[in-house]
Amino acid sequence: MVPLMFALLSTLATADDDALRGVESWAWRRAWPAVVNPVVRSPRAQVISLRGAWEFVTRGVAPSRHPNWVAFYSQSWPGARTLQVPGSWEAQGVGEPGPSVTWDPKWDHGPRQLRHVYMGEAWYRRTVDLPAAWAGQRVWLKVGGLRSQGWFWVNGTRVAWVDNYCGTYKYDITDLVEPGQPVTVVAAVNNDLPSRKGQMVSSHRFGGLYRDVELEATPPSRIDDAWVRGDLDQGTALVHVTLARAAEAPALARPVLRVAVETA
């Protein structure tokens, strides 16, 4: 067995440390890097997948993102249909026949005739019950990916503006939800706007929540991120762990990480 040497780098973060994560200016909530629908999930994870049927309406019904329209998020939506998440809306019959719309020069990606084209804004809504067992924990909204920009509300309150195409982020919504009660997630998605990346090689600017959306509960003090970088030649590995805690959680005087190594 080749001996392994581990170096542990630990970062302690508090919820008040805005320098650690970016806070966008629409909802004033921090976006934390996250993993949505991982290949391997811990059996201890407390996750509610929002994969499946969502209410859906196009701009003909939805008003605007102005705060005065907050009642819109809780009332019935005339003409609403059901759309599956994750998935693009054109693939589910939204829009009319027409040519594809690209960001590229036409000589690079010429338009193609599509069965369904819808450019503009559309709205999604999903309501689920939070487990009562989530009391005393942090609750997160996790967004896997959308095209091209999205605005999210939880129980009628602004939570996130997402404009990174395929980045996966989570947002602390603990103050907006109550364990044991319903929670409503609303998303306005617009594919007629540029995002920060991922657009220039596309044959068509499709729209929709095309990756998973989840709710997750975590302890007030938690491992927020972890990765390992191995060096085969040296027979060593670097283990990096980021610890995070809520402002009300007690600080750890001396964080300790125990690592068990199994070799074939």
Cα 27 from Cα 158, distance rounded (Å): 5
Helix, strand, coil tally for the chain in percent (to 5): 5, 40, 55
Contact 196, 216 (CB under 8 A): no
Give the pLDDT band of residue 246 (cuts 50, 70, 90).
Answer: confident
Give the three-state DSSP class for 68.
Answer: helix
At residue 201, the pLDDT reads 52
Q: 123 pairs with which residues across the strands?
A: 57, 188
The more confidently predicted of residues 22 and 151 is: 151
Position 101 pLDDT exceeds 70: yes
Position 76 pLDDT exceeds 60: yes
At residue 244, the pLDDT reads 82
Residue with tokens 């999210």: 152
In the predicted model, what is the mean pLDDT of residues 198-219?
82
All domains of the chain in start order, with CATH: 32-218 (2.60.120.260)
CA dihedral over 85, 64, 149, 242, signed as positive or negative? negative
In the predicted model, what is the mean pLDDT of residues 8-36?
64
The more confidently predicted of residues 88 and 66 is: 88
At residue 41, the pLDDT reads 87
Cα 56 from Cα 124, distance rounded (Å): 5
Q: What is the pLDDT of residues 139-187, one digit of tens each?
A: 999 999 898 889 999 998 999 999 876 789 999 999 999 999 999 999 9
CA–chain centroid gap for 55, Å, is 18
